[in-house]
Each structure stands twice: as C-alpha cells, then as structure tokens.
Amino acid sequence: MDPLVALGLFIGIPVGLAAVIAIFVMVPRGKYGSDAAEDITPGSALITSAPATPNPAVLPTTTGASVTGGAHGNW
Amino acid sequence: METGEVMTLNPSSRADIEKVVGVARDICGYEFAVYVGDLENGRESAIAMHAGLHDPDSGVLLVIDPKRRTMDIVTGSRVRRTLDDRACEFALLSLRSSLQADQLVAGIRDSVMMLAEHARAPRTLHLDEPA
C-alpha cells in the first residue's frame, strides 16, 4: 500500500468517525421543560383508559335502558 | 382564578392522566375516562359522552368544565353496584378542593384513584382465593 494512502486512511478514518459522533451529539433530540408555552393543547381533551375487563360473574342486564349514576358539583 | 389559562392540559399533564386512568382501570377493571373542556348542556352532555364509551355500563366518566366551573361523574349501571353515588360525591369533594387550589392534574389523580378504590369489587371467598 502506498504510504501516502495509508497515512490518509490513518488520519481520515478517525476524523470521519469523530465528525459523525459529533453530529449525533449536537443534533437536539426533544424539548425540555422550559418550552411549556408551546406545549399548551387548546380546546378540550377526552382521555380514556382501555375498555373494561369482561367479568363473566356479572349477570346480564334484563332491562334495555341503562341507568347511569354519579354526582354533580361546582367549585 | 382565571379559568381557561390554568385549566388546559399540556402533553405532560395528558400523559399523567392517561397513566392514572390506566392504573384505575387495572385496580377495578372498569373503563375510566376524563374529559376537561366545554360542556354545552351540562350533565346531559356528560351522560351523552358517557354513552359513547366502549362499554357504558362498565364505564366511569369524570368531566370538568372550566368555563362553567362544573364537575360531573357519570357511572354506568354495572359500576353502580360497587360505586354508589355517595362515593362519587366524596370524590367530587376532593376534586373541588384541588381545583380551588389550581391543581387540576392532582385533583383528577386523587379523585380517579378514590373512585377506583371504591369501585373495586369486594373479594369473594372461593372465587378470588382458589384453593
């Protein structure tokens, strides 16, 4: 191998690897907590869990209409 | 309190609430949903929204309307067997105190966990503890 080519590879490969690593390190990946002003989601939000677990022990409802319960309040 | 400014959900708050409703569902097996936003017809809108869940009979919906400063809990017919209306009122009391302190996510977390603990069916001998 030509000594000049060997010297080029000897210097070029580490420099190239260092450049690639530097690019990966410098590229920002995600935002941090100080950018909260852009994170605000306007409007309403409905957040649901997974569907209820089927319970074979529960008897089926005989009445067609489902009666809802719960509570209402103000603050 | 300036409603509308505080009562919005950023992605981290949404993630927290998603985690809470997931944990609540794991505790009692019922579907949980939380809605924060405008309700045109009050509780009627909340009941209509509850009817849109996967299984309304086994679903619990917590609704907060920041504009009208109202909060509602809607439970399905199957959930009512273990989660009565009195327990829902207790959860709303806890939520009210948190909302008055501008702690939306903490209030939702506490009230949803309270509902889940109440909705958990009592352990049954020979069914929950096989020999």
Q: Which domains does chain B have, with CATH numbers?
A: 11-119 (3.10.310.50)
Please give the tally of structural domains in chain A.
Answer: 1
Tokens of A71: 């509570």
* Residue A41 binned pLDDT confidence (cut-offs 50, 70, 90): very low
Given a contact cutoff of 8 angstroms between Cβ atoms, the answer to whether B14 and A43 are in contact is no
Q: How confident is the model at residue A65 (pLDDT cuts 50, 70, 90)?
A: low
Q: What is the pLDDT of residue A33?
A: 46
Asked whether residue A2 is assigned to any structural domain, the reply reads yes
Backbone angles phi, psi at B25, to 5 degrees: -65, -35
**Does some domain include residue A72?**
no
Nearest to B115 by CA among B38, B63, B40: B63
Q: Cβ contact (<8 Å) for A68 and B36?
A: no
Q: What is the mean pLDDT of residues B57-81?
A: 92
Q: Give the mean model confidence (pLDDT) for residues B48-71.
A: 92
User: Does a structural domain hold residue A9?
Assistant: yes
Which residues, at least 6 apart from B4, have a Cβ–Cβ distance to it below 8 Å?
B66, B67
Q: Which of A13-22, A34-43, B41-50 has the lowest mean pLDDT?
A: A34-43
Which residues of chain A lie closer than 8 angstroms to B84, CB-CB?
A: 69
Interface test with A, best of B5, B9, B61 (most A CBs within 10 A): B9
Evaluate whether residue A56 is within a structural domain.
Answer: no
Query: Domain containing A22: what range?
Result: 1-28
Query: Chain B contacts of A55, Cβ < 8 Å?
Result: 29, 58
Residue A7 lies in a domain: yes
Is the pLDDT confidence value at B93 over 80?
yes
Question: How far away is chain B from the Cα of A56, in angstroms, using its nearest Cα?
Answer: 12
CB A37 within 8 A of CB B4: no
Q: Is the dihedral of CA B42, B45, B57, B36 positive or negative?
A: negative
Residue A18, domain member (yes or no): yes
- Res B65 pLDDT > 80: yes
Q: Is residue A61 part of a domain?
A: no
Within a 13 Å sphere around the CA of B17, how many CA atoms are in the beta-carbon half? 26
A67 located within any domain: no
Q: Is this prediction's ipTM beyond 0.85?
A: no
Quote the pLDDT of residue B5. 44
